[in-house]
Structure 1
Amino acid sequence: MRPPLHPKPMLAEAARSLGLEKIINYGGDGWDYDTVTAFDSHGRTWIMRAARRADVVPLLMRENAILPHLQIGLLTPKPEKFGALENGFPCAAYQFIPATESSAETISAEATHLAKALHRLHTTPKEIWVDHVPSSPSWLDRTREQLEVTAAHVTWPTHILAKWREILDLDQLWASQPVLCHGDLGPPHLLSLDGHLVGMIDFSDMQYAPASVDFGDLLTAFGKEAMLRVLISYAALSGSNLETLLAASYGYRELGPMFTAFHGINVGQPEFIEEGLARALEIFEPR
């Protein structure tokens, strides 16, 4: 949890304007949001999120439009209160989901449950999200463009750049019909309670992309065994080709450091660029 970027009195004023009178704590939700945890007059716990930067504002607006209609068989945030900070940055509040981040062991044990949730997410009716999640340019074209942007800013080893271009040229890996993906399935965004998977949160990185985007994230975050258990169940549900989806998931994982560096370039955070370079070396030049 990072410290908030907006002044605490400003966050408190916005929370109180939404009927959240008793502040529990302040914090930063990743790099994109400031958060306030607070009680309402009925003693219910809420999380208020406020965009930290101008480029995050449309992501929050997108969540506000889509999440109330999302039904995936897991608890998801349902924004119910909407406002703005004194400086104009928007905020939204949803009721707190009383659970903690998931472990690889939980994901393995709950693989079928997660596979069903991902299948429901990926088959969400298009009318719910089509006006909020861009479908053009394609994921593949966007990714190729992002790779070239990073190549102009980061001193990648030549063989790593060549490998990434080779991966993106494997059209058979990326030929599946794009779906609505979560886009950031790590431990903080998959919530568990008493060993059971109960929730999925933080949909800021939703994108119209191959399903392998979500499985590549699971592979990075939880390891091969957990991801494979989910993938096998998902392939049975969706009718996807297991071998192709597995290969694409590994391909996406290998592209991950490039996405991290691109984000750093995009938001002016050099630490992301450094992290991306370090992860690329870890993947392609393991000790």
Structure 2
Amino acid sequence: MNPWEATNPITIKEARDKIEEAYPELKPVKIKDLGTGFDHTVYMVNEQWVFRFPRRKLGLEAMYIENKVLTSLEKVSFEGGFDYPKPVYFQKGQDENDSYVGFSLIEGQVLTDLEDTDCLNEAAEKLGHFLKKLHALPVECIDAGPDHLNRLSTALRRKHFYVIAEEAAPVIPEKLYQQLLSYLDQLEEWENPAGTVLVHGDLHPKNLIAREGKLAGIIDWGDAHIGHPASDLSIVFQCISHEKRSLFFDAYGEVNDETIKLARFKAAFLNTVLLRYAKSTNDQNVLRWALTGLKKSLS
């Protein structure tokens, strides 16, 4: 089975029927397909709400995490300078077939829809402030668990990284592919670092929203957890040019060499996963951004 294939597909009619039955105050529901993510089918409702339906079991787990974390951010009145979804509607059913969630709409385009793969340079300082504030939140006030997936462990993920790289190889230029293999060959082995802060956990261009070409919002918090800051700092090595990274770190604060090493690993891993996704789905926008991101993460 294609790893991105839905085991729980939901049509636009099925989604409308579910929403109207559960929330009659939204009738008549005007619904528009916003596409699919790795784990969810997404619809815009009444030009005001975004409803996410799990495409598979992993999507159900991510949906529960996202709802809890975003509810926690609302309770602590988090303001970081960028929009993030506000949880409004929540249906917790028996499984992924009858569970879904509705958030406030973050208007704009997914970053991968933009032509300019350097557009995040302009937001480097503001993004640094955002993550500094997010990582400073008291974790005892956030309903989030630890990193059970050991996302930053090369001891666990290095072998799988080679497999993903091989699967993505047909869409990676040969010179860049060899650079990636060289990076993997020289990669040190380490265990997952201790988690100390709330992290979004999955920052990459498909989870960033732009308005008028500028970063405006951060979506898809289903991988949020109490983890290591490097998990989020990976976005610097994916999307910000080398000469602009100092603007980010001037705002965020100084980090040590180990954190940079961890962040660069996460960036390279994420972009290789995105390249495999782009190959499987023939998504040329994701392909363009992921190739650029991989180059940046290895530079």
Distance of 1:117 and 1:90 partners within structure 2: 31
1:191-243 deviations in whole A, cap 9, x for unaligned? 343565432211122244432222323322344345442233212xxx433x5
Question: How is 1:208-247 mapped onto 2 (pairs within 5 angstroms)?
Answer: 208-235=226-253, 239-241=254-256, 245-247=259-261
The answer on 1:66 being equivalent to 2:79 is no
Aligned match for 1:113, one of 113, 123, 126: 126
Distance of 1:187 and 1:81 partners within structure 2: 26
Deviates more, 1:70-79 or 1:175-184: 175-184
Match of 1:133 in 2: 145
Distance 1:194 1:7, change over 3 A: closer
Distance of 1:209 and 1:134 partners within structure 2: 6
Distance 1:184 1:226, change over 3 A: farther
Aligned match for 1:254, one of 264, 268, 272: 268
Distance of 1:87 and 1:248 partners within structure 2: 33
1:159-218 deviations in whole A, cap 9, x for unaligned? 9667436434378xx868643222332334333435654322111222444322223233
Match of 2:203 in 1: 185
Contact 1:77 1:94 (C-alpha < 8 Å) held by counterparts: yes
Residue 33 (structure 1) shift: 0.9
Contact 1:182 1:207 (C-alpha < 8 Å) held by counterparts: yes
Give the match's secondary structure for 2:106. coil
Distance 1:176 1:75, change over 3 A: same
Give the match's secondary structure for 1:110. helix
Contact 2:199 2:226 (C-alpha < 8 Å) held by counterparts: yes
Residue 11 (structure 1) shift: 0.7
Contact 2:12 2:31 (C-alpha < 8 Å) held by counterparts: no
Cα RMSD (Å) of the superposition? 4.2
Distance 1:88 1:162, change over 3 A: same
Distance of 1:108 and 1:37 partners within structure 2: 29
Question: How is 1:140-155 mapped onto 2 (pairs within 5 angstroms)?
Answer: 140-141=152-153, 143-149=154-160
Give the match's secondary structure for 2:38. coil
Contact 1:183 1:217 (C-alpha < 8 Å) held by counterparts: no
Match of 2:99 in 1: 90
Structure with greater contact order relative to length (CA < 8 Å, sep ≥ 6): 2
Contact 2:195 2:226 (C-alpha < 8 Å) held by counterparts: no
Residue 248 (structure 1) shift: 3.9
> Which ranges in structure 2 are unaligned for 5 or more consecutive residues?
168-176, 282-286
The answer on 1:75 being equivalent to 2:71 is no
Contact 1:57 1:89 (C-alpha < 8 Å) held by counterparts: no
Match of 2:172 in 1: none
- Matched residue pairs, number? 262
Contact 2:124 2:240 (C-alpha < 8 Å) held by counterparts: no
Q: TM-score, normalised by structure 2?
A: 0.68
Distance of 2:137 and 2:240 partners within structure 1: 25
> Which ranges in structure 1 are unaligned for 5 or more consecutive residues?
none
Distance of 2:231 and 2:203 partners within structure 1: 9
Distance 1:137 1:28, change over 3 A: closer
Aligned match for 1:26, one of 8, 20, 33: 33
Deviates more, 1:49-58 or 1:92-101: 92-101
Distance of 2:164 and 2:118 partners within structure 1: 38
Distance of 2:117 and 2:279 partners within structure 1: 29
